[in-house]
């Protein structure tokens, strides 16, 4: 009688659990410290009241915005990790891959933000660019918050559903398109006055970076 011994592979997901708990602590802290603001933020998916109340560009460096940006980075990084693992490019328990994704997203977003400030100053549309960035940060932070519990479910579920990934990707693309639509609609007077600069800004800083990132990922 032959006995087949199969090595038991223990997957260490403690690092992910720690990050999820950290994200939950940040959210709970924001809800406690910024209760009114947090409640308005939760309505961002159905109303733009939050953007109207907190429209001052100084809010870009506010603790609430920064902390929600951290949630966004954690959430998006986990989703990309899950997506790459689904296509067998990495494993969900590979914390090195997560760090690489997190670092890449952080550097990409920060670099893009700094370049936009430089271009905005050069084209004399700095105030508009800062307002534009603030609204984008708010909407994407909200999307990151919504995506976080979905990431937790998919991460600890051993058999993720293929359809879920495509739905989330579709919602993400649609959400970004709607964000740009409402931004253009809200600031159409400013945009019409500087239509050439806006088209230049849109092509060089909103379309080109994502195209080159997609090209780089698919080729490498």
- Read off the tokens for 162: 């293929």
Predicted confidence at residue 23, as pLDDT, reads 94
Q: Which of 100, 27, 94, 34 is nearest to 67 (CA)?
A: 27
Question: What is the overall mean pLDDT for the chain?
Answer: 80
Predicted confidence at residue 12, as pLDDT, reads 64
Predicted confidence at residue 74, as pLDDT, reads 94
Contact by Cβ (8 Å): 139, 186: no
**Per-residue b or e along 176-195, where b marks 16 or more CB atoms closer than 10 Å to that residue's CB:** beebeeebeebeeebbeeee
Predicted confidence at residue 51, as pLDDT, reads 82
Tens of pLDDT, residues 46-100: 887 888 888 887 777 889 999 999 999 999 999 889 888 887 888 888 899 999 9
Predicted confidence at residue 90, as pLDDT, reads 84
What is the reported pTM?
A: 0.82
| Distance in angstroms (rounded) separating the CA atoms of residues 109 and 89 | 23
């Amino acid at each position: 009688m032959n006995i087949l011994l199969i090595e038991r592979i223990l997957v260490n997901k403690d690092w992910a659990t720690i990050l999820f708990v950290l994200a939950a602590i940040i959210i709970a802290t924001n809800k406690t410290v910024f209760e009114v603001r947090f409640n308005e933020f939760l309505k961002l998916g159905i109303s733009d009241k939050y953007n109207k109340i907190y429209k001052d560009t100084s809010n870009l460096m506010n603790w609430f915005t920064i902390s929600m940006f951290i949630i966004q980075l954690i959430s998006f990084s986990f989703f990309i990790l899950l997506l790459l693992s689904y296509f067998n490019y990495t494993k969900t328990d590979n914390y090195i891959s997560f760090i690489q994704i997190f670092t890449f997203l952080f550097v990409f977003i920060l670099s893009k933000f700094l370049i936009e400030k430089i271009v905005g100053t050069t084209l004399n549309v700095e105030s508009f660019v800062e307002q534009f960035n603030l609204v984008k940060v708010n909407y994407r932070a909200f999307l990151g918050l919504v995506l976080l519990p979905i990431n937790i479910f998919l991460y600890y579920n051993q058999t993720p559903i293929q359809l879920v990934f495509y739905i989330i990707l579709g919602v993400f693309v649609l959400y970004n398109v709607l964000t740009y639509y409402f931004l253009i609609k809200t600031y159409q007077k400013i945009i019409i006055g500087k239509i050439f600069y806006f088209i230049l800004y849109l092509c060089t800083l909103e379309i080109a970076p994502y195209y080159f990132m997609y090209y780089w990922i698919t080729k490498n």
